[in-house]
Amino acid sequence: MHRCGGALIDEQFVLTAAHCFSRNRTPSMYRIHVGAHRSGSGRVHFIRNISIHSLFNVVWPSSYDVALLRITPSVKLNETNTARTICLPSVAAITHQMCIVTGWGMTKEHGRRSDVLREIHIPIVPFTQCNNLAHYAGRIHFPSMLCAGYTQGVVDSCQGDSGGPLMCMNMGRWEIQGLVSWGIGCGRPGRPGVYSKVHAALPWIQMEMNKLRG
């Protein structure tokens, strides 16, 4: 059963949301489908390690909602044309920049999950705008969260997209700036999606990769 999305950042590592493992952190309980574009497709990999960010707050809304998965076997990028790694961010997300989110989640609030990988194009929302009373009334944790979406709603990530990447172009290369984390409903006016800020987690990500790399 599909649970969450993720992003391949290295032949051995997938980045996703920590809340995806709030009920069970046993690696053997999960499988990773790499390079999938339709339900059930892609190559199956196993999880060797699940690392949860040291500052992750389980209480909603969760700050530092980031998890790093070490998978086995390593992805052989020269043997697949359906999977590529995404670069970690070299700079923080730029306000108003158009970015892309991909996922397998519901196509609308209370709808059904998609059988194919979908993508949406949405802008980064200024922190002060997202955190004001009309939006999230102070719930946005600036150091670890960012918002993306439209004031009028409609286009948004949704349930089942958790852990999926928010990808933005920088200097000719795609970088992962966010991970689908939480929101109020899907596509509601004044309720953009909230994403884990990957740039804020970079020191932890790099430390964990160095520690776990085999």
Provide the annotated active-site residues. Answer: 19, 65, 162
Q: Quote the CA–CA distance of 75 and 57 in Å, as a whole number.
A: 31
How far apart CA 82 and CA 25 sit, in angstroms, is 28
CA dist list (Å): 52 to 1, 57, 92, 208: 22, 10, 21, 10
- Residues 39/116, Cβ–Cβ less than 8 Å: yes
CB neighbour burial string for 69-80, b if at least 16 within 10 angstroms, e if fewer: bbbeeebeeeee
